[in-house]
Amino acid sequence: MSSITACVRFRPLSSGERRDHGDSVCIHCVDSQIFVLKDEKEEEFTFSFDKVFYENSEQAQVYEFLALPIVKDAVDAINGTIITYGQTGAGKTYSMEGPSIMVCDEQKRGLVPRIVDGLFDCIKSSEGTVKHSIKLSMVEIYMEKVRDLFDLSKDNIQIKESKAQGIVLNGVTEISVSDPAEALQTLSSGIANRTVGETQMNMSSSRSHCIYLFTVQQELKKDNRLKTGKLILVDLAGSEKAEKTGAEGKVLEEAKTINKSLSALGNVINALTCGSPGKAYHIPYRDSKLTRLLQDALGGNSRTALLCCCSPSPSNASESLSTLRFGMRAKHIKMSLHAKSSEDKYAKKDGSPSSSKNQACERIL
Ligand code: ADP
Ligand code: MG
């Protein structure tokens, strides 16, 4: 039985925060899992997560704890999802991409370039017996529309559910890549398309959810049987409350849409953790594109990790508190992974599922 791995990362204080509040922080570290947050009213809240990365944590530590096990599983045909959550400026994109996914500084490289290297490393070790392929897709969800970042003409991709593959993005561009450099080049073209959108449509990247999809397919050389693992990385839009941002007009509409989809995510998490045992229950996955896309990640067959990104500054204590409460709720989702038996791991080449039990999912309340 597995749970969502829920971690917290506090970024270093920004220069603005230092200017306004000096070196003061609203968190007190207890150990690598427990810390205390003090809000503006000096009230103290103790939190316990699977891992807490404090201000001086390194990108490599986040990768090794949070992503490496998921990368290894993806190569073994177990789906994986990594989500970064938090207010704008809390360090979601820095954790996911680093200063840029092409950055060469080993210390600064984010999860995406490390995951790319990790996937190719894992696959290399089975080169003798298995033929592998890695395909990439990239989309963003903006104003409840899924846009293909590898083909901007596909600006309203539909999300479908297939028995064999689970949740799929209908007609999304998939690009095959054969080495880490090609993969990073491809992904940075997707990121660049996000930026084009920004200037043309006055769209800030923190107002859309950015989603990286890796499909890892392996074919046994002796009998051509296939196994496929999917890895989804989600850099969510900022979780700050719309009314707090002082936004108006279009920007307010964007903020409201984000809040709606993040609320839908919260509602799905609540439904997954608060139902009563043995009772039929409704999980409102269809209430937003985000929850529909993450359906497998949240309630089904996926190993999922959530990184709650927070500022340590007292000025952001209330936003950090709300991020941490969200993370605590997510931590209590329990799901059964399909640790497939070795004969189940390979599907037939026609793409039909290797076993109906692979599609089954179970939730423990
Ligand atoms: P978000 O994506 O959550 O809106 P960013 O990742 O863009 O936030 O981070 C905001 C700023 O803080 C950026 O300038 C980024 O470089 C910096 N930052 C975030 N996390 C860290 C970190 N762990 N170490 C150093 N700088 C960081
Ligand atoms: Mg960001």
Q: Is the CB of residue 210 below 6 angstroms from any atom belonging to ligand 1? A: no
**Helix%, strand%, coil% for the chain, nearest 5:** 35, 25, 40
Query: Look-up: residue for tokens 């007009």?
Result: 249
Q: Do the interacting molecules here have an ipTM over 0.90?
A: yes
CB-ligand 1 contact for 327 (6 Å cutoff): no
Q: What is the pLDDT of residue 339?
A: 39
How do residues 265-306 score in pLDDT, each as one tens digit? 988 888 887 665 555 578 899 999 999 999 988 877 788 999
249 C-alpha to center of ligand 2: Å? Answer: 22
**Pairwise CA distance, residues 44 & 331, whole Å:** 21
Q: For atom 1 of ligand 1, which residue has the closest CA?
A: 89
Among the atoms of ligand 1, which is closest to the Cα of residue 206? 4
Q: Angle 180-201/111-124 helices, nearest 10 degrees?
A: 150
Residue 109: the pLDDT is 98
Q: What is the percentage of the chain residues whose pLDDT exceeds 70?
A: 85
161 CA distance to ligand 1 centroid (A)? 35
3-class DSSP state of 131: strand
Between CA 74 and CA 111 the distance in angstroms is: 15
The pLDDT value given to residue 126: 78
What pLDDT was estimated at residue 200?
Answer: 58
266 among annotated binding-site residues: no
State whether the beta carbon of 88 lies less than 6 angstroms from ligand 1.
Answer: yes
The CA 195 to ligand 2 mean position distance, Å, reads 12
Q: Locate the ligand 1 atom nearest the alpha carbon of residue 53 and give its number.
A: 23
- Report helix, strand or coil for 3: strand
Q: Distance between CA atoms of 117 and 112, rounded to whole angstroms?
A: 9
**How far does residue 60's CA lie from ligand 2's centre (Å)?**
19
- For residue 99, the ligand 1 atom closest to its alpha carbon is 16
Q: Supply the pLDDT for residue 203.
A: 55
From the CA of 55, give the closest atom in ligand 1. 23
- Cα(137)–Cα(151) distance, integer angstroms: 10
Residue 207: how many other CB atoms lie within 10 Å: 23
Taking the centre of ligand 1 as the mean of its atom positions, its distance from the CA of residue 99, in whole angstroms, is 8
Residue nearest to atom 17 of ligand 1 (CA): 91
**pLDDT score for 338:** 54
Q: Is the CB of 98 under 6 A from ligand 1?
A: no
Residue nearest atom 21 in ligand 1 by C-alpha distance: 11
DSSP 25-77: -SEEE-SSSEEEEE-TT--EEEEE-SEEE-TT--HHHHIIIIIHHHHHHHHTT
Of 93, 2, 109, the residue nearest 50 (C-alpha): 2
pLDDT at 355: 34
> Is the pTM above the cut of 0.80?
yes
DSSP 8-state code for residue 237? P
222 is an annotated ligand-binding site residue: no
Instruction: Tell me which ligand sits closest to the C-alpha of residue 97.
Output: 1
Comparing CA positions, the residue from 183, 179, 182, 171 lying closest to residue 214 is 183
pLDDT of residue 310: 98
Residues with CB under 5 Å of ion ligand 2 are 92-93, 206
Of 94, 105, 313, which is best to mutate to test ligand 1, by the most ligand atoms within 8 angstroms of its C-beta? Answer: 94
pLDDT at 276: 54
Q: Is the CB of 209 under 6 A from ligand 1?
A: no
For ligand 1, atom 24, the nearest C-alpha belongs to 11
pLDDT-flagged residues of the chain (< 50): 1, 339-365
Please say whether the beta carbons of 171 and 151 come within 8 A: no
Tell me how far apart the alpha carbons of residues 10 and 35 are, in angstroms, rounded to a whole number.
Answer: 11
Ligand 1 pocket test, candidate residues 11, 52, 208, 235, most atoms within 8 A of CB: 11
**Per-residue confidence (pLDDT) for residue 363, from 0 to 100:** 29
Domains of the chain and any CATH numbers: 2-343 (3.40.850.10)
On whether 241 is known to bind a ligand per the annotation, the reply is no
Any ligand 1 atom below 6 A from CB of 55: no
